[in-house]
Chains A and B, each alone.
Chain A
Amino acid sequence: MSNVLTLQNIGKSYKQYPSKFSRLIEWVMPFLGARHKKKWVIRNITFDVKQGETIGIIGVNGAGKSTLLKMITGTTQPSEGEVVCVGRIAALLELGMGFHPDFTGRQNVFMSGQLLGLNNETISELMTEILSFADIGEYVDMPCRVYSSGMQVRLAFSIATAVRPDILIVDEALSVGDVAFQAKCFRRINDFKEQGTTILFVTHALDDIVKHCHRAILLDSGSIAMSGEPREVVNEFRDRLFGKSKKKTIGDLCVSSDSGNGELSRTDVFHTQPLYQKIEHRWGVRTAEITDYMIKSNGESYPVSVAGGDTVEIKFRCVFYQNIKSPIFGILLKTPDGINLYGASSRELMDDQIGLIMAGAAVDFTFKLKLNFNTGPILLSVGLTHCDEYGNDEPLDRRYDSILINVDNEKSFIGLVDAETECVIEVIE
Chain B
Amino acid sequence: MFSLLSAIFRYRGFIVGAVKRDFQSRYRTSMLGALWLIIQPLAMITVYTLIFSEVMKSKLPGISGEYSYSIYICSGLLLWGLFLEICGKGTCLFIDNANLLKKVSFPRITLPVILMFTALINFLIIFILFLIFLVIVNAFSFTQLLFLIPVVFTTLLLASGLAMVLAVLNVFFRDVGQLISIVLQFWFWFTPIVYPLEIIPGWARKFVEMNPMAVTVNSMHEIFVKNQIPEWLPLLYVSLLGAVLLILGLYLFRRHSGDMVDEL
Contacts and interface: CB of A to CB of B under 8 A. Distances in A.
B17 A98 contact: no
B97 to A, nearest CB: 10
A95 to B, nearest CB: 9
Interface string A100-136: 1011000100110011011110000000000000000
B28 A102 contact: yes
A77 interface: yes
A115 B24 contact: no
19 contacts: A27-B172, A73-B105, A75-B103, A77-B258, A79-B258, A89-B105, A91-B105, A94-B103, A97-B100, A98-B99, A98-B100, A100-B25, A103-B24, A103-B28, A111-B21, A114-B17, A114-B18, A115-B14, A117-B13
B144 interface: no
A180 B87 CA distance: 49
A102 B25 contact: yes
B99 A24 contact: no
Nearest to B258: A77
Interface in A59-114: 73-77, 79, 89, 91, 93-94, 97-98, 100, 102-103, 107, 110-111, 114
Contact of A119 (B13, B24, B103): B13
B17 A111 contact: yes
Nearest to A77: B258
A23 interface: yes
Contacts of A15: 259, 262
Contacts of A114: 11, 13-14, 17-18
A115 B99 contact: no
A14 interface: yes
Nearest to B28: A102
A79 B106 CA distance: 19
Contacts of B172: 23, 27
Contacts of B257: 77
Interface in B200-249: none
Nearest to B24: A103
A313 B42 CA distance: 83
Interface of A: 14-15, 23-24, 27, 73-77, 79, 89, 91, 93-94, 97-98, 100, 102-103, 107, 110-111, 114-115, 117-120
A120 B28 CA distance: 22
B10 A97 contact: no
A31 B172 CA distance: 19
A382 B21 CA distance: 59
Given A107-B21, A115-B14, A117-B11, A74 B103 contact: no
A295 to B, nearest CB: 43
Interface in B96-139: 99-106
B57 to A, nearest CB: 46
B21 A14 contact: no
Contacts of B100: 97-98, 115
B29 A102 contact: yes
B25 A103 contact: yes
A74 to B, nearest CB: 4
A129 B102 CA distance: 28
Given A15-B259, A75-B261, A111-B17, A117 B25 contact: no
A74 B258 CA distance: 10
B262 A23 contact: no
Most chain B beta-carbon contacts within 10 A, residue among A23, A102, A115 = A115
Interface string B15-57: 0011001001100110000000000000000000000000000
Contacts of A79: 258
B173 interface: yes
A98 B10 CA distance: 19
A72 to B, nearest CB: 10
B17 A97 contact: no
Nearest to B172: A23
A14 B99 CA distance: 19
Contacts of A107: 21
Nearest to A21: B173
B258 A115 contact: no
A124 B99 CA distance: 26
Given A15-B259, A23-B173, A75-B261, A97 B106 contact: no
A117 B150 CA distance: 33
Contacts of A23: 172-173
A76 B99 contact: no
Nearest to B259: A15
A75 B101 contact: yes
Give 5 nearest A-B pairs by CB, closest first.
A77-B258, A114-B14, A74-B105, A97-B103, A94-B103
A274 B257 CA distance: 45
Contacts of A14: 262
Contacts of A98: 99-100, 103-104
Contact of B21 (A91, A93, A100): A100
Contacts of B106: 115, 117
A76 B13 contact: no
Contacts of B24: 103
Given A23-B172, A98-B100, A77 B13 contact: no
B261 A76 contact: yes
A14 B101 CA distance: 17
A145 B28 CA distance: 13
Nearest to A27: B172
A93 B103 contact: yes
A60 B18 CA distance: 39
B25 A115 contact: no
Most chain A beta-carbon contacts within 10 A, residue among B14, B18, B102, B259 = B14
Contact of A76 (B14, B18, B262): B262
Nearest to A96: B103
A118 B13 CA distance: 8
Nearest to B106: A115
